[in-house]
Amino acid sequence: MIAKAISETRRILRLTRKPKSSEFNESSKICAAGILLTGFVGFIIFLIFRVLFD
């Protein structure tokens, strides 16, 4: 079981490659947008609860 997991991990690592600069920048922008959107939604929910229950 452990040997199978190790061999699968090695196979995956052989298939991976370093992302190009443009791919990395695009992924970073998408992640940042997701983090900002999540924070904005949380802040809006906070304000709604603050207005309703204060």
pLDDT digits (tens, 9 = 90+) for 29-53: 999 999 999 999 999 999 999 999 9
CA-closest candidate to residue 35, choices 25, 24, 27: 27
Instruction: State residue 54's pLDDT score.
Output: 79
Write out pLDDT tens, residues 10-34.
Answer: 999 999 999 999 999 999 999 999 9
Residue 27 · residue 19 · CB < 8 Å: yes
Domain ranges of the chain: 18-54
